[in-house]
Amino acid sequence: MPTDQELALSLEQPLMKAEQAAALLNVPPSWVRDASREGRLPHIRVGRHFRYERLALERWAAEHRIENEGATSRPRAGRSR
């Protein structure tokens, strides 16, 4: 269960729009919106709008970092190397 401190929202930095979050993550804005709708990306609902905290996105990216991915991945079917 998250603590009150984890649930607290800091507005020291302005909330970002999907386009700004996409630029930070180097992905298309449509991916940011889709991931938000599906609950895969941390976001805040402001009415019907999605907004993003930079710190939350940085934490999310750090949690989803895959170290040394090449050592654990298998070749894709149908591709020759």
- Span 48-58, pLDDT tens digits: 999 999 999 99
Mean pLDDT over 19-26 rounds to 98
Distance CA 44, CA 22 (A): 15
pLDDT at 4: 56
Which parts of 4-81 are beta strand (E)?
Answer: 44-46, 49-51
Q: What is the pLDDT of residues 23-79, one digit of tens each?
A: 999 999 999 999 999 999 999 999 999 999 999 999 999 999 988 766 555 556 665
| CA atoms of 14 and 9, how far apart (whole Å) | 11
pLDDT of residue 2: 58
- Cα distance between residue 27 and residue 29, in whole Å: 7
SS3 32: helix
